[in-house]
Amino acid sequence: MIQSVIGQHLMIGLSGPSVTAEEKNFIIENNIGGVVLFSRNTKDPKQLHELCTEIQSFRHLMPDKAPLFIGIDMEGGRVARLKDPFTIWPPLKKIGDIDNPTLSFHFSQCLGAELNAFGINLDFAPCVDVLTNPQNIVIGDRSVGTDFNLVVKHASALVRGLLKSHVIACVKHFPGHGNTLLDSHEALPIENLDITRLEQIELQPFKKSFRSRVEMCMMSHILYPQVDPDYPASLSEIMIQKVLRGNCRYRGLIITDDLGMKALTNQYSTEEIAIQALKAGNDILLYCNEPGAPMRALDALVDASANGPLNKELLEVGYKKILQFKLDKIKNPDPMPFDKALEVISSEHHKKVSQAIATGVFSEELFKDSEEEI
């Protein structure tokens, strides 16, 4: 049934700390691929553990029995959905200031271990944007730094740390959000950088991440008129097929940034956004905050697959790719037993790693159990 095929291409937000009956029915009946968690969904560790356990239980009632993606934004610094007693991590700028890739790897591995313990299998991180515009407060200290070589070096370590913790890493925001002034939550940024400049600077950390086996890449809502004058990157077949798949040779999953952002909704309808996003080559469409949007999008996509312009066969190819990815990457979907999960987030070692990043003061002893060399 095409609705189940399309549903696997969607990730949706939840309204609160528990799944409503309506949300549960929508996920199960439409074979939705996953959910994304925000601060509104996380009150305390016990509640989060119960929520993730319930979300993964839905797979037993769905046609494919495939685990759901449970994603979250945990970058460190101001973009961190999980608060105390989870470890509080400094922003990536601190990583760049210290410039020790082993510490970067260890940070990412520890952060990922806490997510994995609670059944969160996807982190929308690391942010590998190069901060080429110092007035860019949207990215700011979310970036490792202003030198692309520095970002390249640490992008690899950050990706490998998440992989080591059995959490899917998702680099963002392709092809780079570091030069913008506008916030794509509120308006559409326009960047007059050509492909030569992007290849020289912005794309370098992404290419390094791809060589480091990152498993997912998030598209930005930024218009690059010199690359594609018609569509922002997230809706651009040129940016996805020619630049990301072609020039960068990326073979993993591609996900949009939140399709409810005003960068897109000020320009297009919910239905137009969904159809163009899949047509352009995204594997997964992300809906974070607008409750009615996923249903409207799903209806539009079903209609577009029946009557054009979406190719039903290509949708099914993407569907099988997502299912195989989940089979390969999400081996243990359910959270750890709660008492074991609590031990992970209350780890003294994690606190020491966080303090080392915050202060820049640490010794080799901190890495004694790490497989990475300093």
Q: Which amino acid is at 243?
A: V
pLDDT (0 to 100) of residue 373: 41
**DSSP-based three-state secondary structure for 145:** coil
Does the annotation mark 185 as catalytic?
A: yes
From residue 223, give the alpha-carbon distance in Å to each of 148, 248, 300.
21, 19, 24
Is a pLDDT exceeding 80 seen at residue 325? yes
Going from N- to C-terminal start, the domains of the chain cover 34-258+322-358
Beta strands 79-80 and 69-72, pairing class: unpaired
- Stretch among 180-189, 227-236, 295-304 having the lowest mean pLDDT: 180-189
How confident is the model over 96-118, as a mean pLDDT? 97
Angle formed at CA 101 by CA 196 and CA 133, multiple of 5 degrees: 40
- 178-198, pLDDT tens digit by residue? 999 888 889 999 999 999 999
Q: What is the mean pLDDT of residues 243-264?
A: 97
Secondary structure (3-state) at 172: strand
Asked whether the beta carbons of 52 and 81 are under 8 A apart, the reply is: no
**Which overall architecture, per CATH, does domain 34-258+322-358 show?**
Alpha-Beta Barrel (3.20)
pTM: 0.96
d(CA 182, CA 134): 13
- What is the pLDDT at residue 365? 87
227-242 mean pLDDT: 98
Closest CA to 289 of 256, 258, 268: 258
What confidence category does residue 370 fall into, taking pLDDT thresholds of 50, 70 and 90?
Answer: low
CA 118, CA 158: separation in Å to the nearest integer?
A: 20
The mean pLDDT of 145-150, rounded to a whole number, is 97
Q: Is the pLDDT of residue 332 over 60?
A: yes
C-alpha to C-alpha distance for 306 and 297, rounded to whole angstroms: 14
pLDDT at 346 over 90: no
The chain-wide mean pLDDT, for the chain, equals: 96
* pLDDT confidence of residue 105: 97
SS3 state of residue 108: helix
Which is the catalytic residue, given 64, 97, 166, 185? 185
Pairing of strands 69-72, 253-256: unpaired
Which pLDDT belongs to residue 308?
85
Q: Would residue 299 show up in a list of annotated catalytic residues for this protein?
A: no
- pLDDT at residue 364, rounded to an integer: 84
Catalytic residue among 73, 141, 257, 258: 257
Residue 347 CB coordination number (10 Å) = 16
Q: Residue 263 — pLDDT band, cuts 50, 70, 90?
A: very high
pLDDT for 372 beyond 80: no
First CA to last CA across the chain, in angstroms?
52
Cβ atoms of 173 and 118 within 8 Å: the answer is: no
